[in-house]
Amino acid sequence: MTELLHVSGGPTKPEIIAVSLSKLDLADGCRFFDIGCGTGAVSIEASKMVRDISICAIDAREEAISVTKKNFEAFKINNAQVFSGESSDILEKQEVGSIDCAFIGGTKNISRVLEVLAEKKAKSIVLNAVRIETVVNVINKMKELDLFEEALHIIVSRSAPITGETMFKPENPIYIVVGKSGKN
């Protein structure tokens, strides 16, 4: 089995990826943006769910870009562009084209990122956050941009062995914020 290379902050846990992608309205041939791609794990899972997806993965850290490129090669992700830099700057560029679905895993400069996604008329946006301050900021900004749909708080506990029996260990809670264009 192909092993995913890791980088600090990633990969996003599979259960969180599953819920996040279920909220994104992925469709065959869609243009998917992985903003703060880290390892590229979310893009890899998205590519298993629909046909002919076109992926644009962005991260500000060179280390993450290098790991994403290696993971895309190992998992045979062919229809992908990988951009290094601040996502709000990259999203503004003409050559990135239209945006159907955007997953946001990194929330630096999030207000500007959301403004650019709204300007580009991204149809569906799903954001992961761990800090409540980020969540409040994102909900308020999405409401201002007429994008806000819902926010979820997800806690996963995973089985772990204990003296030959099984206990559950909680993982860090994650907030998922969902935005859709054309709310009204």
Ligand X SMILES: C[S@@+](CC[C@H](N)C(=O)[O-])C[C@H]1O[C@@H](n2cnc3c(N)ncnc32)[C@H](O)[C@@H]1O
- Is residue 56 a contact residue for ligand X (CB under 6 A)? no
Distances (CA, A) of 21 to 18, 66, 160, 165: 5, 24, 26, 33
Give the residue at shortest CB distance from ligand X.
106
Q: Which two tokens stand for residue 88?
A: 């709000």
User: Of the candidates 86, 92, 115, 149, which one interacts with ligand X according to CB under 6 A?
Assistant: 86
The H-assigned helical ranges of the chain are: 14-22, 41-49, 62-74, 87-92, 110-119, 132-144
Contact 108, 139 (CB under 8 A): no
Nearer to ligand X, 111 or 181 (CB): 111
User: Of the candidates 38, 100, 135, 175, which one interacts with ligand X according to CB under 6 A?
Assistant: 38
Adjacent-strand bridge partners of 80:
55
Nearer to ligand X, 11 or 179 (CB): 11
Interacting residues toward ligand X by CB under 6 A:
9-12, 36-39, 41-42, 58-61, 64, 86-87, 105-109, 113
- Residue ranges of the annotated binding site for S-adenosyl-L-methionine are 12, 36-40, 59
